[in-house]
Amino acid sequence: MKQSIKFNLNHKPLDFIFILSLLCIFAIGSLLVVVLGANIYKEITSSMDSNFQFRTPLSYISTKVRQNDDYQSVRVEEKEGTDALVLSRSDGGEICETWIYEYDQSLCEVYITKGTSFQLADGIAMIPSYGLEISLENNLLKLQAKDQQGMARSLTISLRTQQGGDSL
């Protein structure tokens, strides 16, 4: 007695379509994950760039102010229509000034002997800057930096030795 095995050939196209549809769903899902991941990565890098554009100038200026926070050594002056932070310090018996300002989309610095004439273009470009506002009122130095998109962040520094106390 011979047993014959019969296959139902009617299910083959249906099996093929099912497997093909699973493969398509997997491919589309994988593509969506890659696209979403790329968009998230783009947003994260954009946010990091923006934070860098804010924090770097503010941190740099804050550090310079803390290094030079002596009695009456921090002031804000206007030069060529631009506000500049002026930090005075005695260097070898002479009073020298560090001028920090924004010029041509860069945070610039120039170190000169007090009373020396200079132009804003003479400064050394330190880092990119897309908008910087500086003001000094009631022992509070207020800084506002902008990123490329025009978003602004601010920093307020209380001058510790403005009243003639010891510097820390």
In sign, the C-alpha dihedral spanning 125, 126, 128, 130 is negative
What is residue 165's predicted lDDT score, i.e. its pLDDT?
46
The amino acid at 38: A
pLDDT beyond 80 at 6? no
Q: Where does the pLDDT of residue 12 fall: very low under 50, low under 70, confident under 90, or very high at 90 and above?
A: confident
Mean pLDDT taken over the chain? 87
pTM for the structure as a whole: 0.71
Q: What mean pLDDT do residues 4-18 have? A: 70
What is residue 49's predicted lDDT score, i.e. its pLDDT?
85
pLDDT in tens, 112-168: 999 999 999 999 999 998 899 999 998 899 999 988 888 889 999 988 765 544 444
Q: Where does the pLDDT of residue 42 fall: very low under 50, low under 70, confident under 90, or very high at 90 and above?
A: very high
Q: How far is CA 40 from CA 43, 47, 49, 53, 59, in A?
A: 5, 11, 14, 20, 27
pLDDT beyond 60 at 1? no
Residue 134 CB contacts under 8 Å (≥ 6 apart), including other chains: 76, 83, 84, 85, 101, 141, 142, 143
How far apart CA 12 and CA 50 sit, in angstroms, is: 57
Instruction: Name the region of 69 (left: φ>0; alpha: ψ -120 to 50; beta: rest).
Output: beta
Residue 143 CB contacts under 8 Å (≥ 6 apart), including other chains: 57, 58, 61, 62, 132, 133, 134, 154, 155, 156, 157
The amino acid at 41: Y
Maximum average pLDDT range among 13-17, 53-57, 96-100: 96-100
